[in-house]
Amino acid sequence: MRDRQRKLLELLDKSGAGLHALLTRLTLREDIAEELMQELFIKLSNSSGLDKVANWGAYARRAAINLAFDWRRSRKRTPLGLDQVHEPASNDNSPLGKLIQTEELEEILNAIGRINGPSREAFVMRYIQQQSTDDIAKQLGKTPHQVRALCYKVLSHLRDVLGSDQLPSSGKEQYDVEN
Amino acid sequence: MSKIDENEIRRRLKLLSQIEPTPEAARRATERVRDTLVNKEKRRESTRMWRAIIKRPMTKLAAAAILLICLGYAVGRLSAPQPPDVEQLRSALETSLKSSLEEEMNRRWQPVFAASCVQLKDELHQQVRRDLAEFADQILTASGSLTEQRLMELINLIEAARKQDRRRVATALEQIQLNRLQDKTLFGNGLVTLAARTDELLGTKEN
């Protein structure tokens, strides 16, 4: 038990900031991200199967993503976390502009939340965490090609849910992320 | 739901990826989790320690002994004859003592109180008289000294006025003396002039 405690503290030092940033992006609220972070580590601490997990960081990230989307599903009405969005979508800094932007982001996140399993995790890592497909493949234990396929599946879903009838320029995933 | 194209979806995803929590919020969240983990471990250690203590044979024996003692005490209390009602006894004693003590006190202390009252009255009267006499003395002394002080002030004022008058009279006399001397000189000069003119006139007539 003491060993697990030490490992959890190491995980907190190593990945705490990243997990908090991920939770903030998925919830759009810093206070909720803090609460979910607390809940995440308590769950990890109480988890009976944690000792069998090889990669604690990946396990924690998956749990964080699940917690964030569970929170999105559980709340009935969306409170607006306008202050968390640092870079506005346009130069319009008016309250109305922020409101519209937050609603747009909420719309995307709610659509992603309807997906389950490794597809969602891969998509979040790729498009929200801006990781490269190679890195994601290593962390998920898949090939880069499989990762691209998973991301494409989610993107197609988003197009179906949110988008118009317009098809993407090609059938493959487009690489416009930074990594 | 709004209809958006893939570019818009990608733009929104890009925006999402650019959201960063404030450093203060990140630090606060991390510290909170750390505190929780450390406190949890402390609580676990405390629980473990208590469990270890409870699991010891000596602890079990001690607990059994305490339980037996408590049981014996409870049985003893329950099987013992009921004691008299202490509250009732106390109230009866209180009433009886109160009535007997009241009568005795009235009988014994009433004459003493009356005598003491007369004596106290006399003492008080004398004390008041002494105080009044002392007060009168103090008033007279104070009044005398105040009158003396006022008289001294008056004398000083009269003396000062008298000195000022003297100075004025002396100044006036000096002025009179000066005027007199001036008049005398003028008169002398006039007489000399008259004598000289008279001589001249007489000389002219003789010629």
**Domains of chain A, CATH where assigned:** 1-75 (1.10.1740)
**From CA A101, how far away is CA A96, in angstroms rounded?**
9
**Gyration radius of chain B over CA positions:** 62
Beta-carbon separation of B5 and A166 below 8 A: yes
Nearest alpha carbon to residue A64 among A25, A108, A119: A25
**Which comes out higher in pLDDT, residue B71 or B43?**
B71
Q: Which of B2, B3, B17, B38 to mutate to test the interface with A (most CBs of A within 10 A)?
A: B17
Q: What is the pLDDT of residue B108?
A: 82
Q: Which of B37, B43, B44, B46 to mutate to test the interface with A (most CBs of A within 10 A)?
A: B37
Do B17 and A130 contact (CB within 8 A), yes or no? yes
With an 8 Å Cβ cutoff, is A171 touching chain B?
Answer: no
ipTM: 0.74
> Which residues numbered 2-41 in A keep a CB inside 8 Å of some CB on B?
2, 5, 8-9, 12, 16-17, 20-21, 24-25, 28, 30, 33-34, 37-38, 41
Alpha-carbon separation of residue B118 from A43, A177, B98, B108 (angstroms) = 91, 113, 29, 17
Q: How confident is the prediction for chain B on average, in pLDDT?
A: 87
For residue A2, the chain B residues in CB contact (below 8 A) are 41
Do A7 and A49 contact (CB within 8 A), yes or no? no
Residue B99 has pLDDT above 50, yes or no: yes
- Per-residue pLDDT of A41-78, as tens digits, reads 998 888 877 778 888 888 899 999 999 999 988 875 55
